[in-house]
Amino acid sequence: MRSQRCAGRWIVASMLLAAAGTLARPAVAASTIDDGDHPYWRTNLFKRVVTDQKFFLTRWWPQEITSNRWFSSTLAVGLALVVQSGSRENGGRDLRWASGISGTAGTDVKIGSQRMTRLGNGTTVAAILGITYLASRRAHDDRLSEASSLASESLLDAGLWIVVLKAVTARVRPNQPEAGGFFQYGSSQNGSFPSGHAMGAFSVASVFAESYRDKKWVPWLSYGLATLVGASRLALGRHFPGDVIVGAVLGTSIGRGVVARNEESTPRARGTVGPVVGPEGRGVGIGWSYSWK
């Protein structure tokens, strides 16, 4: 089934990210590794993903719903589209718009969409993030290393929710019998909601946009590429607009949540300058020290 293939892709993505983390860490005995000596983004990736779920459910999403109007209103629009489509025999606006978009897409658009879809595959994104993390660690670029690590965490968080939501909702994809219908568990094309490509792409894009918010071109590039990935799924007739909207909103929220958790969990280095007295009280100088607090 489609949902099983999707789950397989995220397992492969997890393995790639795990391999990247293993290669980046020095080969030392397991008993000597103390995550408390490292900032949050350098602690165990899969432990972070597991504990993220409680953070999302108990703190982040309740806050998003009550305090973030953009999140709640856009999510409501996307859900309204998919609910209306699922409750109408003719598929409602969601199906009409999906058919119109894919039906008017020319050959060149579909070729470009296929390329963007391949770029947005979970395994492809995981490989790119793994390479970026390794390269940035080697180059001692901590900012890029941090962003790549958090993006990997966000991608795995999104992948977990993609598999769960697709399995539970079992929405039939466009251009299929019962298109737009929910809870069609016997169909081989029931992985439409939400768009996994959009959710994964926006989960990564939002991390880089938040991590480099002082660079105006980074958010534009990150969200621009993610938007093209989501649009490619519409042009290829693989998703409804509602699927892409909900996937993009949830993915963005997951990425922002991961960055917020990192900011509140990572100790910051604080340096102090003060007088230093030599051995046995002989000589006085100036010294600098730092500590993680």
Q: Which of 46, 56, 50 is nearest to 16 (CA)?
A: 46
Residue-wise pLDDT tens digits, 262-279: 998 865 545 555 565 555
Confidence label for 178 from pLDDT (cuts 50, 70 and 90): confident
* For range 114-133, the mean pLDDT: 96
Per-residue pLDDT at 92: 85
CB 208 within 8 A of CB 261: no
HSE toward the beta carbon, residue 123, CA cutoff 13 A: 9
Per-residue pLDDT at 221: 97
* For range 121-133, the mean pLDDT: 96
* For range 166-183, the mean pLDDT: 91
More confident residue, 31 or 232: 232
Residues 6+ apart with CB under 8 A from 256: 206, 210
Per-residue pLDDT at 27: 36
Confidence label for 225 from pLDDT (cuts 50, 70 and 90): very high
Per-residue pLDDT at 87: 75
Mean pLDDT of the chain: 84
Per-residue pLDDT at 13: 54
55 pLDDT more than 60: yes
* For range 94-112, the mean pLDDT: 91
More confident residue, 280 or 37: 37
Residues 6+ apart with CB under 8 A from 49: 153, 156, 157, 160
Tokens read off for 258: 């991961």
Tokens read off for 280: 């046995």
Confidence label for 86 from pLDDT (cuts 50, 70 and 90): confident
* For range 220-224, the mean pLDDT: 97
